[in-house]
Structure 1
Amino acid sequence: MPPLEPDDPRQLGAYRLTARLGQGGQGVVYLGHAGDGTKVAVKVFHAQLTADFGTLDTFAREMDAAKQVARFCTAQVLDSGTFGDRRYIVTEYVDGPPLSRVVAERGPRSGAALDRLAVATATALVALHDAGIVHRDLNPHNVLIGADGPRVIDFGISRALSGAQTMVSRAIGTPAYMAPEQLQPGELGPGADVFAWASTMAFAATGRPPFGNESIPIVFNRIAHGEPNLDGIEEPLRGLLAECFAKDPAHRPSAQDILDRLVRRTSRAP
């Protein structure tokens, strides 16, 4: 993994930073070590996002809520804090590549590997929704394939950013995996995660986003008005995904429904 750069912090709170894990539009992720040597992931957000987190009290409350999510199939939120005018969040370290890289390097998932992925990610959504959290940005980059199975990450981040209720926070989401309701003003419910889960599973099974990867306006138009490309996906998963792609979130199954049907290997509710 890349070493720290000269301007990178070496210590944040109780965590010693030793390497870079990645960098994206929201900030930089570092490999950190707690006082007992436990590895953690520390994400330091870009300064321009500070206003979108709201007050420190609001940020702390959202992080406390994220800490309550059951730990199975997620990277647990451990801590949070400030670094100058920037915020950071500390999560469990998952030693594994994102689903996006796995598919790019090894090809689409199938058989037992796809089954495990679908069940694990649906289980993570059940845990999130039971804790009252909507992820808002589930996509192949936010699913890590660890040694002990798939883990969903970055759920606390989406919740914290959404708390500001600004146009920036409304725009949270990766375009090809956003639900129709994310393209309009208004509150988001668990159904948005169900739609994103279906898009992520379709990508895992085929190697392509179900609404294409052309320009953002074209993809958004397809999400709002078109049908997903599910060619090459076998039943019963195909039928379940089709139901998750309902334009009206009220017509989509819940995460618990999805998990139950995956375990029973049926595409339809009883």
Structure 2
Amino acid sequence: MERIGDYVVLRLLGSGGMGSVYLARSRSERLVAIKVIRPEYAADPRFRERFRQEVEAARKVGGFHTAAVVDADPDAVQPWMASAYIEGPTLQAEVARRERLSEGELWRLTAVLAEALAAIHRHGLVHRDLKPSNIVLASDGPRVLDFGVARVVEETRLTTDGVVVGTAGFHSPEQALGRAVTGASDVFALGAVLVAASGGSAFGHGEPTALMFRVVHEEPDVSTVPPSLRPLVLACLAKDPSGRPTPLELLDLCAAHAGAAAAPGHDATVVDDGPPPAHMAPPPPRAAPPPSRTDPSQRPTETAPPNPSPALAMYLVDRSVWFLQVLRNVAGVAGLVALAVVGAQAQWPAWLVVVCAVAAFLLGVRLLGLLGAAKDNLTLNSRGIGLGPPNNLLVMPWNEIRSLELNRRPGWTDLTVRLSVVRSLPTGYHHPSWVRSDPADVIHIRTRRLTPVGTAPQLDASVQTFARWQRIRVTESQ
């Protein structure tokens, strides 16, 4: 292939499931990357129309951290789309060379990717295939490539062979299950990218089908992610799309972390890596939200407040609580095993020995689940108040909350949520031991053993901030 449209092809850059990418030169000597779609997709007339619409939307996407779409021909024998060529190593190649990015670089990468996704989503696009090989570390900062094509290719493949577009281990559970895909899928991929950039793999390695199974059914491995970033990554990798933060919430969290790290005397968890490399330059700072409105006793008539939401805030159960649960289960397993052994030697009835052995096995399974499960937390974000592990949050939307009560005592704060609807804790829901529902429209949250994650303020301060933003009445007692 010597020419594509008016562009002279220089060389093949790579090939994938959607097509091939070529480096080409325009008449004015500008370099472009041209993605040529595979012939089987071009044979579908519906594909061409969807492709045309998606390219027009992709051309409107701006932002600091995407590659601009400059030309396209949906009517060519093989449809193609050209974007500005971004020179630099991919994130995949950089991690292969260095093994992992530093903690400071990971925070900056989070902000860059969140800002890129915000720009893409703003124009109604969903990337659907965010992965380290689609992120180029250019001299002026990371750039996200290859958006604006995945949706039409995915829709065509689903009508032909039932295969889902995306890269195993990076696409979301809803993609793996063939369900509706929204911007939350890109946030899931962002979480998996951060794990890869830290030198790990969220769902391991192996055959694509095995990776898809783990994405849907197993918890991610975030052991290589620095502790300061781990709660954010776990939130991105929540199985339920509604439990994931939005790109704007991620930007708020990154800005809050950067502000706290820069504050004099702050005991920041981020190691000072020195000046960041040019290809990891941070995005421009976000403006602070305007002051909250007065008169919090009145709820707004609009469905969502016009002011930007406060930063995402998360609170984890104190490690001592989890340790006591583990110790209690270990003691239970040991006791039941001892009873089964002693009973067998003392010739107890066989049914009693079997009951002890089965109970020890079941308690041991529960212990293994406790050791491997994501820890319970409480989350405040723009959608509402979430309870439980990041992958199974019970969310109480702000529009269902009638009032909040803060009961302060030395060393702790109790939060009582009064709902405008009857919403008892679901049957079978493994709710935290520090949460109870009585009556059905009142949920009590005891927070003595909850600690803020990262730069989150104390819970009572966050509750007050979100309540003012949503104009929810708060009563306080001590």
TM-score (norm 1): 0.89
Q: Can you list the C-alpha shifts for 1:154-178, whole angstroms capped at 9, x where unaligned?
A: 1112133235452557601101101
Task: Say which is worse superposed, 178-187 or 249-258, in terms of deviation.
Answer: 178-187
2:79 aligned partner, one-letter code:
R
The answer for the alignment partner of 1:199 in structure 2 is 192
Distance 1:144 1:267, change over 3 A: farther
Q: Greater relative contact order: 1 or 2 (C-alpha under 8 angstroms, separation 6 or more)? A: 1
The structure 1 segments of at least 4 consecutive aligned residues displaced by more than 4 Å after TM superposition are: 167-170
Distance 1:155 1:106, change over 3 A: same
The answer for the alignment partner of 2:83 in structure 1 is 91
- In terms of fraction of residues, the more helix-rich structure is 1
1:106 aligned partner, one-letter code:
R
2-structure distance, mates of 1:234, 1:53: 48
- 1:218 CA drift (Å): 2.4
The answer to whether structure 1 residue 67 and structure 2 residue 21 are counterparts is no
The answer for the alignment partner of 1:79 in structure 2 is 71
On the 8 A contact 1:237/1:267 being kept in 2, the answer is no
* 153, 172, 182: which one aligns with 2:175: 182
- 1:115 CA drift (Å): 2.2
Q: Can you list the C-alpha shifts for 1:155-211, whole angstroms capped at 9, x where unaligned?
A: 112133235452557601101101111122332111111101000011101x23201
3-state SS, counterpart of residue 18 of structure 1: strand
1-structure distance, mates of 2:197, 2:4: 36
Q: Which runs of 5+ in 1 are unaligned?
A: 1-7
1-structure distance, mates of 2:252, 2:44: 36
1-structure distance, mates of 2:155, 2:56: 13
3-state SS, counterpart of residue 82 of structure 2: strand
Structural RMSD (CA): 2.1
The correspondence of residues 1-270 of structure 1 with structure 2, limited to 5 A, is 8=1, 10-51=2-43, 54-81=46-73, 85-164=77-156, 166=159, 168=161, 171-205=164-198, 207-265=199-257, 268=314, 269=381, 270=462
Q: Which has the larger radius of gyration?
A: 2
On the 8 A contact 1:161/1:169 being kept in 2, the answer is no
On the 8 A contact 2:41/2:47 being kept in 1, the answer is no
On the 8 A contact 1:52/1:161 being kept in 2, the answer is no
3-state SS, counterpart of residue 155 of structure 1: coil
The answer for the alignment partner of 2:272 in structure 1 is none
On the 8 A contact 2:14/2:20 being kept in 1, the answer is yes
Distance 1:54 1:98, change over 3 A: farther
1-structure distance, mates of 2:206, 2:26: 42
On the 8 A contact 1:175/1:216 being kept in 2, the answer is yes
State, as a whole percentage, how many aligned pairs show the same letter. 34
Q: Can you list the C-alpha shifts for 1:48-77, whole angstroms capped at 9, x where unaligned?
A: 232467343332111001111114201111
- 1:139 CA drift (Å): 0.8
On the 8 A contact 2:164/2:178 being kept in 1, the answer is no
